[in-house]
Amino acid sequence: MNFLAHLWLADQTGTSLAGSVLGDVVHGPDLSAYPPEIAEGVRLHRRIDALTDQHPRSLALRADWPDGGRRYAGILLDLVADYVLVQDWPRYSAEPLAEFCRRAGESIEDASEWFLLAGGRSSGAAGFAALLLSYGEPAGIDLAIRRTAARLRKPEPLLAAAAHWPAAAQALRPHLPELLGDLRQSALQLLALGLGESNPLSLETVV
């Protein structure tokens, strides 16, 4: 899952919006330097990523990726999910997307201290909200892909694999409600059990 889907799941489960994004920034198991709600959000982010990778829909979509690009399918599907989520936002939330993005941006800005502590950078509320909204446009996804590829030693294979993302978005769209619904249910059950490192991650044991 990418930013918007993680934020939606955090909002659905009453957990930290900032923590759900910091899960991509914070490294290592020691979260003692962070407030409890932030640490909880980071742990939940990690569990969601693991559960997403195990989900049958994710496995099927990765398997359908053209040969040569499957190793990058997980990265690209994260972005595709945000694109599809924007397209059908009213299906997932009664709150207008722009208002949700504004609220998420404010949460990220308020947590700047913790992003800097994790070695990331602070983001302004308006800028982060605009980033989330950009995922609803093909140009926004293409830009996110180029930025991701730029961090790789060899960006060309990822850029080549990205040619399939519009087709993947069409394939994911009818199944995203199931995927997000399963992840939401899993997240709620994990929160009820506690997010200790020893808790199971499989869909079979959580859902």
Structural domain boundaries in the chain: 3-206
Q: What is the pLDDT of residues 20-50, one digit of tens each?
A: 999 999 999 999 999 999 999 999 999 999 9
| 199 — pLDDT class (breaks 50, 70, 90) | low
Q: What is the pLDDT of residues 85-138, one digit of tens each?
A: 999 999 999 999 999 999 999 999 999 999 999 999 889 999 999 999 999 999
Pick from 67, 107, 93, 99: which is nearest to 8 by CA? 93
**Cβ density class 73-106: b for 16+ within 10 Å, e for less:** bebbbbbbbbbbbbeebeebeeeebeebbbbbbb
Q: Quick one: CA dihedral 10, 80, 55, 21, positive or negative?
A: negative
CB of 77 closer than 8 Å to CB of 61: yes
Burial class (CB in 10 A: 0-12, 13-18, 19+), 154: exposed
pTM score of the predicted model: 0.93
Helix, strand, or coil here: 50? helix
